[in-house]
Amino acid sequence: MPTLSGAEIIVRLLERQGIEFLAGIPGGANLPLYDALSHSTIRHVLARHEQGAGFIAQGAARASGRPAVCLATSGPGATNLLTAIADARLDSVPIVCLTGQVPSPMLGVDAFQEVDTYGLAIPVTKHCFLARSPLELLRIIPEAFRIAASGRPGPVLVDLPRDVQTAMADFDEWPEPGRADGPPAPDAEAVERAAELLGDARRPLLLLGGGAARAGAHLAARSLAERFSLPVVCTLHGLGCLPTDHPLNLGMLGMHASKAANTVLEECDLLVAVGCRLDDRATGRLDRFCPDAALIHVDIDASELGKRRAPQASIAADAADALTSLARALDKRGGGVSRSAWLGRVVHVKERFGLRPPGLDDPRSAYGVLAAAARAAASIGVRADGRDVLVATDVGRHQMRTAQVWPLAGPGRLLTSGGLGTMGFGLPAAIGAALAEPGHPVICVSGDGSLLMNVQELATAVEQDARVKILLMDNGCLGLVRQQQELFMDGRVFASRFSARADYVALARAFGMRAFDLSEHGDPEAAMAEAFAASGPCLIRCPVEDEPHVLPMVPPGAANCEMICETENHDAMEVAHVHA
């Protein structure tokens, strides 16, 4: 019968859970937990800001698909963590956040470093616990992991008053580690109804989101698409589900999609949306999204079905299971309509309206440097098991360019803050990914605005010798904001230029990181390949002063078909309906 303190119980439960490392910052209210951790085999990653710790955990969870852990003390430690938690909630990332709290008898008296962490966290977590006794931890900690990983994943917070960490408890048995519940099986009737709709559709389109990527549904999706002639579009988090050069792949939909993708959405008569929540960045003005289409919605989270648009059929299930059942039901029905006119139209639209980013061949341009980096990464990144580089981004123009042109070899390779759009995500998320998946080089595409939001984590990257390669797109401004001011505020650029410019190469070196300026290298691609192949972190400054706008772009509040394109500013899209 073990007799252990609450802090020791937590650490043993984390070990039993298989946690290999966690990120955090100690303080008075979580010191007992840190003391217990000092006797553990679990590696502690000392972040330099709690938001950094939260994003390190997120990077690890996104890259590995398993829940990851971060720690913070009470008060400012907990509030600093909240942005990373909210970000995990919107992007469905399983993290378990353990926060120190003032001793239970002092709760509610405005004690030193007391905030109502539980109350603050409720709206941004999937679930929240306030531990009241060390024995209760035997239930709460495995439950936190179960909830974080089950169904639609998300962040769970456990608030730990200091006295709960120090109190001793006797107990008989360790609980089983918390594991994800099995997903609900696809309902046969719902599958049948969906198969009927899909069987009869003349212009169907498959939309794959982060849920499809996370469920490993890319193979089932590809097979369905190829066998039943469905062109495919992806959300930001669904990118990589189909190879970039697959003939049925139209790439990303929505705000920065190709005109081809948004045109096909405009023309489809059935949208099969899988593992996505039809958020506004993807749909544009909702009442004008896929105006002629019926909707089949597949999501593991039943509360997403009908949340934004009423579906004609819906399946609450794991994406891979649902797509496999759907294919089986279609096989049983047999026959089906010819979709050759639709596929012909898609080929035409792709040829005519596919993305043609400017400067792709010039490694010193904003798009070209990414294309060169992707080639350099491919030359060193692919391992025998076929796993390649992971790409983390920050938020801004560089993020959308990466989504547009980085050729992803599989799902889940792009780590990016899609829902909350949090600048400062990139560097710490890349560190977490590199630590969780040490075989993968991780490339972090950042902007000079975003990098400064969690620049302190350069120290963490160096300390951990994380294999993170930062491609810093240095344009001296908050590029995406400036773009919006130029396009939508009649060119009134305000508060979006930096008049004081940092020397980022010197800054990285000051943290002990290797760094170089791409403009000083004759062959940028070779210089990047060399940097990517080396162990440890590195910063590569890419000057992109006169970058063009990232286009196409759907103006805020507009319909996707009102996107601004390269050549025909503000012109509505040509839409030719095909009734084959």
Q: Does 423 bind ligand TPP (CB under 6 A)?
A: yes
* Three-state SS at 462: helix
Closer residue to ligand TPP (CB): 67 or 368: 368
Closer residue to ligand TPP (CB): 129 or 504: 504
Q: Does 396 bind ligand TPP (CB under 6 A)?
A: yes
Binding window for ligand TPP (CB under 6 A); candidates: 167-175, 444-452, 458-466, 519-527: 444-452
* Three-state SS at 209: coil
Closer residue to ligand TPP (CB): 8 or 394: 394
Closer residue to ligand TPP (CB): 311 or 428: 428
Closer residue to ligand TPP (CB): 182 or 491: 491
- CA 540, CA 508: separation in Å to the nearest integer? 10
Tokens for 353? 């309206």
Q: Does 146 bind ligand TPP (CB under 6 A)?
A: no
- As measured in angstroms, the least distance from the Cβ of 148 to ligand TPP is 24
- CA 442, CA 428: separation in Å to the nearest integer? 11
What is the distance between the terminal CA atoms of the chain, rounded to a whole angstrom? 73
Q: Which of 421, 536, 543, 555 binds ligand TPP (CB under 6 A)?
A: 421
Q: Does 322 bind ligand TPP (CB under 6 A)?
A: no
Q: Which residues of 248-276 are buried (b: 16+ CB within 10 A; e: fewer)?
A: bbbbbbbbbbbbbbbbbbbbbbbbbbbbb
Q: Which of 398, 360, 400 is nearest to 475 (CA)?
A: 398
* Three-state SS at 257: coil
Closer residue to ligand TPP (CB): 267 or 448: 448
Each residue 69-88 as x (binds ligand TPP by CB under 6 A) or -, in order, gives --------------------
Residue 306 backbone class (left: φ over 0; alpha: ψ -120 to 50; beta: rest): left
Q: Which of 304, 318, 448, 525 binds ligand TPP (CB under 6 A)?
A: 448
- CA 389, CA 440: separation in Å to the nearest integer? 5
Q: Does 428 bind ligand TPP (CB under 6 A)?
A: no
Residues forming beta bridges with residue 161, ordered by sequence position: 101
Binding window for ligand TPP (CB under 6 A); candidates: 181-189, 253-261, 395-403, 454-462: 395-403
- As measured in angstroms, the least distance from the Cβ of 355 to ligand TPP is 18
- CA 525, CA 531: separation in Å to the nearest integer? 10
- Alpha carbons within 13 angstroms on the beta-carbon side of residue 471 total 33
Binding window for ligand TPP (CB under 6 A); candidates: 20-28, 30-38, 194-202, 389-397: 389-397
The owner of tokens 């949090």 is: 422
- As measured in angstroms, the least distance from the Cβ of 516 to ligand TPP is 20
Q: Does 397 bind ligand TPP (CB under 6 A)?
A: yes
Residue 407 backbone class (left: φ over 0; alpha: ψ -120 to 50; beta: rest): beta
Closer residue to ligand TPP (CB): 9 or 550: 550
- CA 24, CA 73: separation in Å to the nearest integer? 9
- As measured in angstroms, the least distance from the Cβ of 93 to ligand TPP is 17
Number of residues that bind ligand TPP (CB under 6 A): 21
Closer residue to ligand TPP (CB): 48 or 152: 48
Tokens for 490? 């009649």
Q: Does 559 bind ligand TPP (CB under 6 A)?
A: no
Tokens for 292? 């002629």
The owner of tokens 């990527």 is: 213
Tokens for 93? 């990332």
Each residue 462-491 as x (binds ligand TPP by CB under 6 A) or -, in order, gives -----------x-x-xxxxx----------
Q: Which of 580, 486, 520, 548 is nearest to 269 (CA)?
A: 580
Q: Does 404 bind ligand TPP (CB under 6 A)?
A: no
- As measured in angstroms, the least distance from the Cβ of 555 to ligand TPP is 16
Residues within the interface to ligand TPP (CB under 6 A): 394-398, 421-424, 447-450, 453, 473, 475, 477-481
